[in-house]
Every structure is written in C-alpha cells, then in structure tokens.
Structure 1
Amino acid sequence: MAIKRSEQIDSENAGYYHLMSRCVRRAFLCGVDEATGISFEHRRAWIEQRIVQLAEIFAIEVYSYAVMHNHYHLVVYSNPLGPCQWTDLEVADRWLRLFPGKLNNPQLKHQRALRLQAIADDKALLAEYRHRLGSISWLMRCINEPIAKRSNQEDCVKGHFWESRFTSQALLDEAAALTCMAYVDLNPVRAGLTDSLETSDYTSIQSRLNAISEAQLNKALESLAGKVRERTMVIPLKDYIELVEWTGKTIIHPNKAHLPSRLLPILQQLNINQASWLNQVNHYERNFYRAVGPLDLIRAYAERLKLKWLKGISNIRALYLTTT
C-alpha cells in the first residue's frame, strides 16, 4: 500500500533524498523513438536546465541527476525549514522567479516591484510560500509541469505526461547518499548507452567533469546547484570521480578493474563495506526501497512511519562495515 508523501518526507528535518519521475506514455521522454524515428533528445536539456534553475529558488542542494529516455533521477539535500530563515522580500522574490507570469518582462519592472511588496506584506501568503519553497513535492511539481506542457504542445496531444506519483527514497546518512549518487551517475553506463563518464550525457558526473578545475579537484564534494548549508561532504571531489569511474569500469568489465588503494580509507571513513559496494551500486534499485541508512536510523524511520518491517535490511547490513 502506498504511503502518503507527507509521511515519507520529513517536513521538519533536513536530509538527503533520491527522487525519480517516469514518463507515463509509450513515447520517449527523451532519446529517439525507434517506432517513429523522431528524436526527443532536446528535452533532456529542458530537464537539466530546469533542475539547476529550481535549485536556486527552492531550499535544496542538487548533488546528482541523470536524465534517461523515459525517466530521470535526482539526489538532493533538502532543508524544509530553510525558507524560515529568508527575509519576507527574499521569499517574495523567489516566488516571483518561480511563477513570474508577465512580470519577467523588463518593461514591467515597476509592476513587479509592486507585486513583490504586496506579497511581502501578506503574512498568510508568505507562510504558504515559505512552506512550498521548502517542499520536495512542490519542487517535483515545478520540474514536471512545465516539461509536460512543452512536450504535449510539441507532440500535439493532451493528457498526462508523467506518472501521477514521483518516487522518493530517504537517504539517512552521507554513505547512503554517496551510494545513491554513484548509482544515479552510472545510469547510462549500466543501461549500456556509454562506457565512459565523459560521454554520459545529461548526468551530473558529466557536468562535474566539464566544469572541473585543479583547485576544485582537491576540495570536498559539493552540490552542483543550490546552497542551504555550510558543510560539504567528507569525500574529496577527485576521490568521488575516481570511485565512480572505477565502479563503472567494473560494471562493464567485471574483475578487471581494481579499487585504487587510496580510496579504501575513504570508504572506511564512511563506514562503507568495500567488498559489497559494487553489488549495492549495480543493483541499487532492486536492493533498496523506501530508505537507505544504518540500522539505527532505519529503525527510527520505520517507527516514524509506524512500520514493523522495511524492505532491504539484508542489503543494509551488507553495505555498512558496522551496523547497530
């Protein structure tokens, strides 16, 4: 039985989430439809651009994404109470950036300023907008609705473009987030679409590689877009790239690639079992369900949802070096 989205996603505490939305029609979201020969590749750029754009508006950080032929994956760090720290005018400005209507016209600068002040003076409206700008459900809605409208218009059709519910998975610690990020970044490799990270089109790992600099390589892994907290991940960017690259090579050529010895301490620091890492990333979607994290956090998550059992406990034990 499906669980309410409001119960799956913590509305009071910040955390990582894996989100996925799938196209409902036979026609491709992106790629080339073999039945008609029509290419929809340009829609991948629509989604990628929309994700980055919304990260600067919502209280999220984007860590990983992959836009596939009929679905996309997204790993975010969400702070639902982040908008409470924003000024009234900042909330109003972000909302008008999200839904500008005709007010994005430079000639209507004065009208936009008046609307901005009107929102800032309406406490009830501000409270509602703060809630929405911290909501993952509203984030996914604001990604999907414009894409659906543009795609339907392009296809000259009406009706649903996306499945009614996006899937959400709680990533309860940094190790879980890192494992999911690698799974998302390697989607094109796992699907047999490419054999390298550089040619993994419309993925966060390709975006990172395209914008990389020597200085960034030695820094800790940061979000690709959005900023809602001061800290970064433990793992350096260069180590994350090397870890994902090794994992991808091993998926393509089992038993031929060896984990660089300097990465082992990083996995140990994150409490990740190196012997189980490859299996957990390669079969992530099959191995894990509503939440990923150490057992104590999994138990607390299940208790909050009033569940006695969660799928994937054996794989949770395998992913971590030590569990409690």
Structure 2
Amino acid sequence: MARARESLIDLSATPYYHCINRCIRRSFLCGDDVYSGNNFDHRRTWLVDRIKFLSTVFSIDIAAYAIMSNHYHLVLKVNREEALNLTNDEVIERWYQLYHGCILVDRYKSGEELNSAYMYRINEIIDEWRARLYDISWFMRNLNEFIARKANSEDNCTGKFWEGRFKSQALLDEPAILSCMMYVDLNPIRAKMADSLLESEFTSIQERRKQYQSFKKQTCKLKKSNKKPEFTVLQQPKSLLELGCSIDKNTIPFTLIDYLALADFSSRLIVPNKRGRVVKEKPKILEVLNIEIESWLSTIQHFRRHYANFAGSKSSLMQYAHSHNHSWYKGTA
C-alpha cells in the first residue's frame, strides 16, 4: 500500500535518506541508447552539476550518489538545524537562486519601509521558504523538473521524463547508512559497467578516491623534498558530506580511510576475479558494527530487496514502526 510522503520522511527518526528515480521513456537518461543509437553521457554531467548546485541552496548534504544509464541514486542528509539558523536575508538569497520570489519580498529587499501587517506576511512567506530548504521533496522536485525540461528540450518532445515521484528509504541506523552508501557507490561495478572504484564514472566513491590519491601524492612529494606540509588534515571533496566520526554530527559517522578500505574490499567481493587479492580479514568497520561478511555481501548486492521504505536493524525497524502505530516494517536486519 502506498504511503504518504510525510510518513516516509520523519526527521525526528533520521536525517539520512536513500532516494531513487528512474526514467520512463525508452530513450536513456545517460549512456548509449540501443533504440536511437544516440549517446547521452553528457546528461550525467547535468545531473551531477544540478545535485551539487542544489546542495548549496538547500540545507541538504550529499553523502553518496551514482548516476546510471536510466536511473540515479542519492543518499542525502537533511541539515534541519542549519536551515533554522539561517537569517531571513540568507533564506531569501537562497530561494531567489531558484525562484523569482514575490512582490512583497522584493519591496522588503529594496529597503522600502513597510508596516507591521506587511512584515508579518513577509515573515510568514520566509518561514515557508525556510521549511522548504530542508524538505527532500522540494530538493527532488527541483532536480527532476530541471533535468526533465532540459532532456525534453534536447529531444524536441513533451511529456513525462520520469516514471513518477522519487522513491525514498529512511536509513534508521549506522549499519543501514553504511550499507546503503556502499550499495550506491558500487552500482557501476555491480552492473558490470566498471571494474574498479576509479573507473566508476559519475559516482561519489570515484570523487572521494581521486581526492584521497591526490592528497597522498602531495604528501609523498613533500616528504621526499623534506618540506613541511602546509596542512595535515586530509582534504575531502567539498561538494560531498565529509566522512568523519560518530562524535561529529556534521559528518558521516565513519572515517574516510575505513570507508575507502571497505569499498575496495567490497568491490573485490562482488568481482572476485579482479586483479589484487581479497583480504580475508574482516575490515575494521564491519568488526565494529559486528556484521558478518556473508550478510554484508548480500546486503550491498540486494539492498533494495532487503528493505522497503525503511532500512535498519530489527530493533530500529520495530521501534520506528511502533512510533507510527504500525506493528512492523518490511526489512531484513
């Protein structure tokens, strides 16, 4: 049975959500279209650029993404606290990057003196915009509509581009966040579109891996030249939510080194005959979260089959279901 979006996205339960949308037409979103013979790889750049732009407007961070041939995956974290701490002028500035606004707010921006009734209405409008700046539905609306209009214009046609509204999964605990991010990052490898993390085009793991390799090369050069490094903190892609630790609520609760090691380990599990050996020891993250390798492999290969609209351990699923007057939610802990 379909559920209302407000029951699927509950920020009091978790700020992390996995969002998916799929193209409806036979002509591909990206890649080679076997029907028309055209190549639409450039549309992947549209999506990545738009996602990153919207993350600077909305108080929503990108934890992971993967742009596939006819669909895309996003793992988003809603930063409600950031949106609530924005000043009225900051809210207006962000909103005007997407929309024209309204006459009353234009008068306020121009410095015109307005009476209390006008200011009361202006504050109402700004509060409405503020709430939309941490609303995943508005984020996805701005992403999907932009891409649909641009693709339709390129194809010289009208009509639906996406099969429907986006699908979402609430990630209720750390194992769910980790396994979902890995599921998204390993999409090209699982689909046999790439053989390694660095070859996984238009994914967040490729960005993180390239940035990490660049940092390592720079550090090695400085060591060889006996120069003191200008910075010791490992730099991460600015457009992505940083991997950090459980203590810092503004980062993903895993270290970058551990996550990259787990991604490499997982990719070798999926493609066992790829170059390099598979490490037999369990990666550190899996040890800490007490996840067995067999269970981990099944989850990162079939994440969407294991869970419906909510993902997490058995206790997390039960707790969240009871808080919404349900007996249980579908899920394999």
Q: TM-score range by the shorter chain?
A: 0.7 to 0.9
Larger Rg belongs to: 2
| Distance of aligned partners of 1:219 and 1:16 in 2 relative to their CA distance in 1, 3 Å threshold | farther
**Alpha-carbon contact 2:179-2:300 (below 8 Å) kept:** yes
Task: Tell me the secondary structure at the aligned position of residue 21 of structure 1.
Answer: strand
Rounded to whole Å, the distance in 2 between the matches of 1:233 and 1:145 is: 29
Instruction: Give the alignment of 1:19-168 within 5 angstroms.
Output: 19-99=19-99, 114=110, 122-168=122-168
Q: Partners in 2 of 1:266 and 1:166 — Cα distance?
A: 30
Number of corresponding residues: 304
Separation of aligned partners in 2, 1:116 and 1:280: 58
The structure-2 alpha-carbon separation of the partners of 1:247 and 1:117, relative to structure 1 and needing over 3 Å to count, comes to farther
The CA distance in 2 between the partners of 1:117 and 1:222, in whole Å, is 43
Displacement of 1:230 in angstroms is 4.9
Which residue is 1:299 aligned to?
A: 318
Match of 1:194 in 2: 194
Hey, which bits of structure 1, 4+ residues long, moved more than 4 A? Answer: 11-14, 110-113, 115-121, 215-224, 254-257
Whichever residue aligns with residue 248 of structure 1, its letter is S
Mapped partners of 1:272, 1:220: distance in 2: 29
Q: Any idea what SS the aligned residue of 2:264 has? A: helix
1:3 maps to 3
Identity of aligned residues (%): 38
- The two structures have a TM-score, normalised by structure 1, of 0.84
Q: Give the aligned residue type for 1:237.
A: L
Q: Does 1:237 align with 2:233?
A: no
In the TM superposition, residue 130 of structure 1 has moved relative to its aligned partner by 0.9
Inter-partner Cα distance in structure 1 for 2:186 and 2:66: 8
What's the C-alpha RMSD, in Å, of the aligned pairs? 3.1
Deviations, residues 201-241 of structure 1 (Å, cap 9, x unaligned): 111111112323237998598884368x7542343212211
Q: Deviation per CA, 1:163-216: give whole Å up to 9, x if none.
A: 222110010112211110010001111111111111111111111123232379
Report the Cα offset of residue 149 of structure 1. 0.3
CA deviation map 1:65-93 (0-9, x unaligned): 00001110000111345411111111111
Please list, as runs of the form range in 1=range in 2, the aligned pairs for 1:212-223 lying within 5 A after superposition.
Answer: 212=212, 213-214=215-216
SS in 1 for 2:138: helix
Deviation, 1:124, is: 1.0
Question: Residues 180 and 57 of structure 1: is their aligned pair in 2 closer, same or farther, counting only changes over 3 Å?
Answer: same
Deviation at 1:247, TM superposition (A): 1.0
Once the two structures are TM-superposed, the CA of residue 114 in structure 1 deviates from its matched residue by: 2.9
The 8 Å contact of residues 63 and 223 in structure 1, kept in 2 or not, is answered as no
Whether the 8 Å CA contact 1:91–1:126 is kept in 2: the answer is: yes
Corresponding residue SS for 2:283: helix
CA contact (8 A) 2:262 2:283 kept: no
* Structure 2 CA distance for aligned equivalents of residues 74 and 7 of structure 1: 19
